[in-house]
Structure 1
Amino acid sequence: MSLIVFGPTQQALEWLKNTALAEFTKQTGYEIEVRPSNWGSGFQKLLTAVASGTLADVTMLGQVMTPALMSRGAFLPIDDRLAKWDDTKKFYPAMLKDGTYDGKSYALPIYADVRTSVYRSDILQKAGVGPDALPKNWDDFKAVARKLSTKNGGPLETPFFSNQDNSVGLMQTFSMMLYQAGGSYFDESGKAQLSNDAGVRALDYLVSFYKEGLANPNVVYQGTGPRPLVLGTSAMTYNSVTVQQNAVEYKPDVEKYILAGPPLAADPGGKPSTIAWINKFAISARTKDPDGAWALLSYLTSRDISGKFAEIWGGLPARTDLSGAAYLKKVSPGFVEATQYAGALPTSPNLLQIQQQVNIAMQSATRQSGPSKQILQELDKKIDQINGK
């Protein structure tokens, strides 16, 4: 049988082949051909493999890849197998749901990039904010940003970094705020509804940081080097454990100051919410051995193997019974605690195009190019055009 994995380091490949899959072969007799690939070209490679009928028996999937390939009939439904599998209930429900499309389950989560509020604790201390007094709602978050601003005697010109980058960082930040405001991308008919009250409220909140001079639209992370939070040019952001990993790589002395806070609620006493980018495994619809492929899929997502996989690939576990995994002791606890509040982006087959359009709209909004309602109405039209609505 064959297996596609994305983004493995040499260490990860050695563990996968020589430890994890060697044990699987010992248990089952199946020899596994591993096909490693990078994330950058991965989506196109999978599209080509689906079209040519050469997709591996079991395939790793990223967030954007999943619905696009599910809609093409690339994967085998696994609902009957999940119903009989004791481990099914041990995954975070939102992450398990992310492997569904059109009412059927096709994939199992392996690890996630869970977002939450992230701070530089040493800089917060300068404004009198300790680790036990981190914000829980929008008003409190904004109040901390104001305290940190040089306009109010604080240490930073622009305390908040909303993840402007050369990818879709602003879209991710807006999506978190959208969920926190109780919004969603689509209504029941599948039409975009970002311009409703929740969407407008979320965008107004994001833009307010720029209007007040608490964020700078010209600060763009280029994808390499220390992030603004690690540099100390900002002290607050919405991000994930990747910020802590960035500190380890570029400024190890700063790692101890990277502090994950709770996901925010829009209102005091409201429901906290956040998003996660969830990576998964699925079985090819053309596999010649569905039972063997399921054996491999369920093995990879079993407690011990998926826990090690998440550790080596640098993510958080997708299983609730791994919340106390040993490697997580090195991670700021707030990242792990945020997992229970994480939802996924919509499972639209056109998510790749949609997120790009959302990011472009957010770039325009942060430069205060027009009212939030108008920007989002135009964005809804573009999304509906992409989806053929």
Structure 2
Amino acid sequence: MSASDGMKFIQSWEDLVADKLQGIRRRAVLKSSFGIAAGLTVALKAPAIRAQDKSLSLMILGPDQKAVAWMKSALDEFKSKSGYAVELRQSDWGSAFQKLLTATASGTLADVCMMGQVMTPALASKGAFLPIDSYLKGWAEIDQFYVPMLKDGAFGGKSYALPVYADVRTAIYRSDILEKVGISALPTNWDDFKALAGKLSRKNGGPLDAPFFANQDKSVGLMQTYSQMLVQAGGSYFDAKGKSILSSESGLAALQYLVSFFAEGLANPNIVYQGTGPTPLVQGLAAMTYNSVVEPRNAHANNPGVEKFVVAGLPLSAKPGGTPATLAWINKLGIGANTKDPDGAWQLLSFLTSKDSSEKFAELWGGLPSRKDLKDAPFLASINKGFVDATQYAGALPITPNLLQIQKEVNIAMQSAIRQVQSPADVLAALDRKIDEITRA
């Protein structure tokens, strides 16, 4: 689903809801026409049926066969503990947002739903989910979640979702290529990172034409790289009043830093990852990038011989001695607003975000835990420690219903910037105006 299609769908929300309400009224009239005897039969039987009918539904996104098998087993366990039978629904990520929007408008949203980062504010702003603050109050588990990841499930001052795992980004390297220029210690700040790219550059006697890959792809990878640099520079997307401030001093510093790799021949804007096969880092076309555990998993699938050389460092700081900073793309679970059993839905939600369940979500969906008490989870032993260490420095993107459209616009602007069609200052000034139009700030 494209960003523009997503926004059109959101804008048609009221019409969809109105149609649904009309349908409910029509059905109510038809039901009232049943005979008295039939009505008595239903009335007598209904209480017994409701007493036995402890059922819920769950929507999960992007599972593979192994994940589905685990989930079915987990739901059997939940049934034995709670008495609730759970209908399992699933969707691929690509069509998930539209399915959740449609289900919300038609009143068929699952009792508990999985959602991606950009989906949460867009759906919460339309009343798709129940606030869960009353359940979180006094809940013993709440302090186990990383605070930025927990905050990412809030919108408009209310909590709507709990994180289950995160795609945490950091600086990633090919250690075997770094060794060719005598580097063993990984960079910690922008200056060192840039200096390493210079040493790796063929023009300086290094082994690579374009040492740094800025995650250009057919989606929003370049926007994700810029966003990480933005937080490392101390910047943010919006001010306290909701106006876009990417052209601020911090935002400009981040874009100038990104563009400098391309301007100095240390990155190639024409190298674009198509989404399948080995990434440029795994191919050996680059030795440095900003990404996640996706990189070593890509190596495992496409070039197993180099997997051991794909290593993660701490997120960078903009200045020497500064605090590392990065972002995480956080996937969550929330309770559908149309649920007929919110207490039962909370039981399911809290079960799925428990320590044991959260560990399996992270392991099987290919992310990192959202809970602090899982930092030593057994499955993490097979993941480079740098990824796990990066989690404590990870924040989240801004919580706005327009994030789907905004990230697309940022990615387009970044493409212009790295090709040096416009100056970084002009790119960001135009981008601020565009984002304010989208948010009507």
> TM range, normalised to the smaller chain?
over 0.9
1:374 matched residue in structure 2: 426
1:289 matched residue in structure 2: 341
Matches of 2:319 and 2:347 in 1, distance apart?
46
Matches of 2:343 and 2:89 in 1, distance apart?
20
Once the two structures are superposed, the pairs formed by residues 234-245 of structure 1 within 5 Å of their partners are 234-245=286-297
| Offset of residue 370 of structure 1 | 1.5
Matches of 2:320 and 2:358 in 1, distance apart?
36
| Offset of residue 79 of structure 1 | 1.0
For 1:148, which of 184, 200, 204 is the aligned residue? 200
| Offset of residue 83 of structure 1 | 1.5
Q: Which amino acid aligns with 1:341?
A: Y
Matches of 1:387 and 1:307 in 2, distance apart?
36
Q: Which amino acid aligns with 1:15?
A: W
For 2:187, which of 115, 131, 135 is the aligned residue? 135
Where 1:280 maps in the other structure, the secondary structure is strand
Where 1:41 maps in the other structure, the secondary structure is helix
Matches of 2:358 and 2:74 in 1, distance apart?
10
| Offset of residue 375 of structure 1 | 0.5
Does 2:38 match 1:38? no
For 1:347, which of 396, 399, 408 is the aligned residue? 399
For 1:10, which of 62, 65, 90 is the aligned residue? 65
Q: How many residues align?
A: 386
Q: Which amino acid aligns with 1:20?
A: A
Once the two structures are superposed, the pairs formed by residues 85-234 of structure 1 within 5 Å of their partners are 85-130=139-184, 133-234=185-286
Where 1:32 maps in the other structure, the secondary structure is strand
Q: Which amino acid aligns with 2:390?
A: A
- Give ranges in structure 2 of 5+ residues lacking alignment: 1-55
| Offset of residue 290 of structure 1 | 0.7
Once the two structures are superposed, residues 137-194 of structure 1 have per-residue CA deviations (whole angstroms, 9 ceiling, x without a partner) of 0000000000000111100010000000000000000000000000000000001000
Once the two structures are superposed, residues 336-384 of structure 1 have per-residue CA deviations (whole angstroms, 9 ceiling, x without a partner) of 0000000001111010000000000000000001211111010011111
2:319 matched residue in structure 1: 267
Q: Which amino acid aligns with 1:385?
A: E
For 2:114, which of 44, 60, 77 is the aligned residue? 60
Where 1:183 maps in the other structure, the secondary structure is coil
2:101 matched residue in structure 1: 47
Does 2:372 match 1:317? no
1:258 matched residue in structure 2: 310
Matches of 2:345 and 2:76 in 1, distance apart?
16
Q: TM-score, normalised by structure 1?
A: 0.99
Once the two structures are superposed, the pairs formed by residues 71-90 of structure 1 within 5 Å of their partners are 71-90=125-144
Ranges of 4+ aligned residues in structure 1 off by more than 3 Å:
none
Matches of 2:105 and 2:435 in 1, distance apart?
26
Q: TM-score, normalised by structure 2?
A: 0.87
Does 2:383 match 1:328? no
Once the two structures are superposed, residues 51-105 of structure 1 have per-residue CA deviations (whole angstroms, 9 ceiling, x without a partner) of 1111000000001111100100111111121112111000000000000001111
Where 1:63 maps in the other structure, the secondary structure is coil
Does 2:358 match 1:306? yes
| Offset of residue 272 of structure 1 | 0.9
Where 1:339 maps in the other structure, the secondary structure is helix
- Give ranges in structure 1 of 5+ residues lacking alignment: none
Once the two structures are superposed, residues 109-155 of structure 1 have per-residue CA deviations (whole angstroms, 9 ceiling, x without a partner) of 0000000000000000111111xx11000000000000000111100
Matches of 1:32 and 1:378 in 2, distance apart?
49
RMSD of equivalent CA atoms: 0.5
Matches of 2:367 and 2:312 in 1, distance apart?
15
Where 2:137 maps in the other structure, the secondary structure is helix
1:363 matched residue in structure 2: 415
Matches of 1:55 and 1:208 in 2, distance apart?
47
Matches of 2:138 and 2:342 in 1, distance apart?
15
| Offset of residue 238 of structure 1 | 0.3
Matches of 2:142 and 2:61 in 1, distance apart?
24
| Offset of residue 208 of structure 1 | 0.1
| Offset of residue 309 of structure 1 | 1.5
Q: Which amino acid aligns with 2:355?
A: R
